[in-house]
């Protein structure tokens, strides 16, 4: 518990650059469309969103170090000292927490860490027209503008089809319900996701 609390504090003050870890093949020859974070959630039932306003009191870390307000909602500890930290833009997080659905325009960022002082590549997914696009950047040079359809990322996320092709969607609702950042672990190496059952809590 102490270890997890320390990690929770570290996320708001730490930003280190390390060697890149590769999780997606970015050699696809695709044209990058423009991706804009959502600004309008009025299409959702207003009473549901009123409930979501209570997110302001959650014990979640909000950071703007990537140029946009984002909630830190989960950490996935992997074999060795590798771990990943998951963030979602605050507007989409509010909608997802209230409705269980991730809206168009959502951005999910995944920090990759080799250990507590060695941050590597930030990978991200952007939802546009119901489809997920992928990109990455160095932690000290955030850029959400180059998201494209990457075959290897899309194929990997096919196994999460029941959760909108997003492994950590179950952790969003759990983080709201339990009022805290979620910590899970699996015995996988630095690349590739855990089995979906791990994220579902099975």
Domain ranges of the chain: 2-20+42-200
pLDDT at 191 over 60: yes
- The reported pLDDT for the residue numbered 63 is 84
The 10s digit of each residue's pLDDT in 106-127 is 999 999 999 888 999 999 999 9
Nearest of 170, 154, 64 to residue 109 by alpha carbon: 64
Going by their DSSP bridges, the two strands 83-89 and 61-63 should be labelled as unpaired
For 141-200, the DSSP string reads S---S--B--HHHHHHHGGGGGGTT-TTHHHHHHHHHHTS-EEEE-S--SSSPPPHHHHH
- The reported pLDDT for the residue numbered 165 is 95
- The reported pLDDT for the residue numbered 60 is 67
Joined tokens for residue 12: 């708001």
pLDDT at 173 over 70: yes
pLDDT at 14 over 60: no
Q: Mean pLDDT score of the chain, rounded to an integer? A: 76
- The reported pLDDT for the residue numbered 202 is 66
Residues 6+ apart with CB under 8 A from 167: 157, 160, 193, 194, 196, 199
Q: pLDDT category, 68, cuts 50, 70, 90? A: confident
The 10s digit of each residue's pLDDT in 22-64 is 344 433 433 333 344 443 333 333 333 334 334 455 556 788 8
- The reported pLDDT for the residue numbered 100 is 87
CA dihedral of 174, 75, 157, 55, whole degrees rounded to 10: 40
Contact criterion met (CB below 8 Å) for 70 and 86:
no
The length of the chain in residues reads: 202
Report the predicted TM-score, pTM, of the whole model to 2 decimal places: 0.72
pLDDT at 90 over 60: yes
Q: pLDDT category, 21, cuts 50, 70, 90? A: very low
Nearest of 75, 87, 110, 86 to residue 3 by alpha carbon: 75
Q: For the domain 2-20+42-200, what is the CATH code?
A: 3.50.70
């Amino acid at each position: 518990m102490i270890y997890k609390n320390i990690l929770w504090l570290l996320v708001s003050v730490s930003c280190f650059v390390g060697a890149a870890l590769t999780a997606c093949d970015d050699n696809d020859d695709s044209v990058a469309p423009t991706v804009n974070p959502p600004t309008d959630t009025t299409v959702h039932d207003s009473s549901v969103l009123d409930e979501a306003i209570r997110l302001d009191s959650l014990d979640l870390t909000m950071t703007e170090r990537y140029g946009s307000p984002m909630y830190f909602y989960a950490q996935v500890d992997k074999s060795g000292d590798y771990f990943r930290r998951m963030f979602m833009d605050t507007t989409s997080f509010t909608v997802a927490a209230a409705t269980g659905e991730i809206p168009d325009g959502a951005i999910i960022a995944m920090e990759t860490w080799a250990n507590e002082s060695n941050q590597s590549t930030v990978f991200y997914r952007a939802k546009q027209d119901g489809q997920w696009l992928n990109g990455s950047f160095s932690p000290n040079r955030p850029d959400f503008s180059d998201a494209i359809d990457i075959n290897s990322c899309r194929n990997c996320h096919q196994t999460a089809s029941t959760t909108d092709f997003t492994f950590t969607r179950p952790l969003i609702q759990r983080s709201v319900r339990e009022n805290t950042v979620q910590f899970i672990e699996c015995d996988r190496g630095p690349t590739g996701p855990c089995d979906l059952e791990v994220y579902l809590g099975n």
